[in-house]
A and B are shown apart, each in its own frame.
Chain A
């Protein structure tokens, strides 16, 4: 089955800890994205990557970091510098080189700060 997987489904973090959220896709998509969703809010773009070993900041990148060492993988690290990290995190991918394609989402990771 082709798709996007995110792990873990639920993640708990203590104050001051860094945590890494996993995102893997087997759709052979070039581009991958991380969004954050808060209650009553739309999705906000954290980081995106259009090609391996390259990534760009989105609208709310502060306190987050990413890497793109493989086409299939785009992990997100939530650092201790992120002051309000409790949220639902969504990873997406896209074959953006096609003008008719769009983004497809994984099932999400719910991060809670204790």
Chain B
């Protein structure tokens, strides 16, 4: 089973707010977790990559993985209008997504100036 659940939004927040984006999944074999940002009519851009459970921080972005709850999150601090995009979670049971990634449907995020 490869289902990944993600709220499609839209999620609208004021500039400067902390944004929380989430995905749940059912396949306990998933070990590699990614967040991609996709602007309209563009290819997805890798934001964060984590392996197994734990936190990872990169600038204004923090990714959290809780494998026991099958729940992953992406936090964006000091949100900017340029963060307005669709955020896709993706996951894999193999390194590098060797046999393909399983994606959520994406959350459409709007940062209001």
Contacts and interface: CB of A to CB of B under 8 A. Distances in A.
A85 interface: no
Interface in A19-47: 31, 33, 35, 40-45
A21 to B, nearest CB: 13
Contacts of B45: 105
Interface size class of A (residues with CB under 8 A): 20 to 34
Contacts of A90: 43-44
Nearest to A104: B46
Contact of A48 (B6, B8, B99, B104): B99
B60 interface: no
A97 B90 CA distance: 19
Contacts of B96: 31, 94-99, 101-103
A99 B51 CA distance: 9
Interface in B19-72: 32, 34, 36, 41-46, 49, 51
Interface residues of B, number: 29
B97 interface: yes
Contact of B95 (A40, A45, A101): A101
A107 B40 CA distance: 11
Interface string B75-113: 000000000000010101011111111011110000000
Name the 5 nearest CB pairs between A and B, nearest first: A96-B96, A99-B95, A42-B103, A105-B43, A96-B98
Interface of A: 4, 6, 31, 33, 35, 40-45, 48, 50, 56, 58-59, 88, 90, 94-108, 110
Interface of B: 4, 6, 8, 32, 34, 36, 41-46, 49, 51, 88, 90, 92, 94-101, 103-106
Given A43-B103, A103-B96, A108-B41, 12 more contacts: A4-B43, A6-B43, A31-B98, A40-B8, A42-B6, A43-B90, A59-B100, A90-B44, A94-B98, A97-B96, A98-B96, A102-B92
